[in-house]
């Protein structure tokens, strides 16, 4: 994960359980940037901006914003606090942009004002991770089995429903320790949207969303918190972004229907985004996993993540900096995605992002000059 080297130069508020040293200095969001820069023109842009939200894309944002600061001279202080917190801070205008893996609701859009836009930045897989002594990566799960585990219907690892999917694997007669998010989470939205799509009992019970009433289990804060709990809890299962499973060396399972299990990867998540392409609306507010995309090599528990910006902003300098950061994320930054276990955006989504970024205005002027 070489793209994470030096990430503390950008912001120590980005949290990975194995890397984090927390704390970011307060910055002046509207300090004017002196000098030029390539791309959208950093001249006249704020020198520093604050953002907060989703932990799912935090490793990607860390790497991209570090390079963005080096190349464009604009520092981005990003706090990995979860999607719900990111939407709330965006609504309260305590950050220049929010970040979420769960689309804003209509009510949140109204509360935020300024015609909020969802700029898709990257895609990725959410994977079932587990910690079972003697069982390596590669367990098979169907969506209904995962739902039944999280509903509390399946409580032991050697339950016939799991054993039948994994012939030849010695599963222990041990109670399953279920781990979920304790905070409002876009990763949870991707996970529960899939469970609701494949399990009628889940759909009519806990349902889909970033904040639900969990039937069972213990909670961890952020992807990093869930990864840490699974790593330290014997016989546990949880869900995190693929990048967190890899970074924390956690075993993770394949998902699908019996006889057609798909390994989570950049390629299989990319295939899921492509499979759901016709269902993605113009405003990009769509949870891929809710469609349960199918096909050969398609990993269904996949989602997009967004930064949240206002089409109409008050501060021209801040608007220029946000627009330029958004452009960099969706263009130059995409080259960093695969090595960090994220999916680069397909061309049709990048094209829509470009239209949205170019629509941003402040003081009657366009914010992106490219």
Q: What is the pLDDT of residue 32?
A: 35
| 278, 302, 326 - which closes a domain | 302
Same domain, 130 and 220: yes
Whether 123 shows a pLDDT value over 80: the answer reads yes
In this prediction, residue 42 has a pLDDT band, given cuts at 50, 70 and 90, of low
Residues 214 and 78 in one domain: no
Rg (CA), the chain: 20
Q: Given this model, what pLDDT does residue 43 score?
A: 62
pLDDT of 368 over the 60 cut: yes
Distance of CA 338 to the CA centre of its chain: 14
114 and 160 together in one domain: no
What pLDDT score was predicted for residue 138? 84
Using DSSP, state whether 158 is helix, strand or coil: coil
Encoded tokens for 201: 């009992």
Residue 19 has a pLDDT of: 33
1-18 confidence digits (pLDDT tens): 333 333 333 333 333 333
What is the per-residue pLDDT for 297?
Answer: 96
| Structural domain containing residue 50 | 2-124+304-366
Q: Are residues 154 and 282 in the same domain?
A: yes
Same domain, 81 and 161: no
Q: 302, 318, 334: which is the final residue of a domain?
A: 302
Q: Where are the alpha helices (DSSP H) in the chain?
A: 58-72, 83-91, 106-112, 143-151, 160-163, 186-198, 200-204, 222-232, 242-247, 266-275, 316-330, 347-358
The token pair that represents 137 in the structure block: 């990566």
Tens of pLDDT, residue by residue over 264-278, are 999 999 999 999 988
352: three-class secondary structure by DSSP: helix
| Dist. CA 108–CA 122, nearest whole Å | 22
- Maximum CA extent, the chain: 66
Do 90 and 194 lie in one domain? The reply is no
CATH number at residue 248: 3.40.190.10
Q: So what's the pLDDT on residue 41?
A: 45
Secondary structure, 3-state, 288-351 = HHHHCCCCCCCCCCEEEEEEEEECEECCHHHHHHHHHHHHHHHCHHHHHCHHHCCECCCHHHHH
Give yes or no for residue 111 having a pLDDT over 90: yes
Query: What whole-number distance in Å separates Cα of residue 304 and Cα of residue 302?
Result: 7
Span 25-36, mean pLDDT?
34
230 and 329 part of one domain:
no
Q: Report the pLDDT averaged over residues 92-104.
A: 97
- H or E segment to which residue 77 belongs: strand 75-80
Name the token pair of 234: 């014997």
Is pLDDT above 80 for 24?
A: no
- In this prediction, residues 214-240 reach a mean pLDDT of 97
120 and 228 inside one domain: no
Strand partners, 119: 307
C-beta of residue 178 within 8 angstroms of C-beta of residue 236: yes
Boundary-marking domain end, from 302, 320, 348 = 302
Query: Are residues 132 and 57 located together in one domain of the fold?
Result: no
pLDDT at 120 over 80: yes
The answer on 353 and 245 residing in a single domain is no
Q: Tens digits of per-residue pLDDT, 183-218?
A: 999 999 999 999 999 999 999 999 999 999 999 999
Mean predicted lDDT score pLDDT of the chain: 89
Same domain, 348 and 259: no
> Could you read off the pLDDT of 305-355 as tens digits, one per residue?
999 999 999 999 999 999 999 999 999 999 999 999 999 999 999 999 999
Same domain, 130 and 118: no
Domain count of the fold of the chain:
2
Q: How many angstroms separate the CA atoms of 160 and 94, rounded?
A: 50
The pLDDT value given to residue 370: 81
- Nearest to residue 240, comparing CAs of 166, 190, 305, 183? 190
């Amino acid at each position: 994960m070489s793209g994470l080297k030096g990430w503390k130069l950008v912001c120590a508020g980005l949290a990975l359980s194995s890397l984090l040293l927390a704390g970011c200095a307060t910055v002046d969001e509207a300090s004017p940037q002196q000098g030029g820069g390539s791309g959208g023109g950093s001249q006249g842009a704020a020198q520093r901006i604050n953002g907060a939200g989703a932990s799912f894309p935090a490793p990607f944002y860390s790497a991209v914003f570090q390079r963005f600061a080096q190349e464009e001279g604009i520092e981005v202080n990003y706090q990995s606090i979860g999607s719900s917190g990111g939407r709330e801070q965006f609504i309260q205008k305590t950050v220049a942009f929010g970040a979420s893996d769960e689309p804003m609701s209509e009510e949140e859009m109204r509360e935020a004002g300024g015609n909020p836009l969802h700029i898709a930045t990257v895609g990725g897989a959410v994977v079932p991770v587990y910690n079972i002594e003697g069982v390596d990566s590669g367990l098979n799960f169907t969506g209904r089995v995962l739902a039944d585990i999280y509903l509390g219907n399946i409580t032991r690892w050697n339950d016939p429903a799991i054993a039948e999917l994994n012939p030849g694997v010695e599963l222990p007669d041990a109670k399953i320790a279920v781990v979920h998010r304790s905070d409002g989470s876009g990763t949870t939205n991707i996970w529960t949207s899939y469970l609701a799509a494949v399990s009628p009992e889940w759909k009519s019970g806990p349902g889909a969303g970033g904040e639900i009433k969990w039937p069972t289990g213990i909670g961890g804060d952020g992807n990093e918190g869930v990864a840490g709990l699974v790593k330290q809890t014997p016989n546990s299962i949880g869900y995190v972004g693929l990048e967190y499973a890899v970074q924390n060396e956690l075993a993770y399972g394949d998902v699908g229907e019996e006889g057609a299990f798909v390994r989570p990867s950049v390629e299989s998540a990319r295939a899921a985004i492509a499979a759901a392409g016709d269902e993605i609306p113009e405003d990009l507010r769509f949870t891929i996993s809710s469609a349960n995309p199918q096909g050969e090599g398609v990993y269904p528990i996949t989602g997009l993540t967004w930064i949240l910006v206002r089409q109409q902003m008050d501060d021209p300098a801040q608007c220029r900096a946000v627009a330029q950061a958004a452009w960099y994320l969706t263009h130059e930054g995409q080259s960093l995605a695969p090595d960090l276990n994220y999916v680069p955006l397909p061309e049709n989504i990048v094209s829509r992002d470009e239209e949205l970024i170019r629509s941003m205005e402040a003081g009657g002027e366009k914010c992106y000059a490219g």
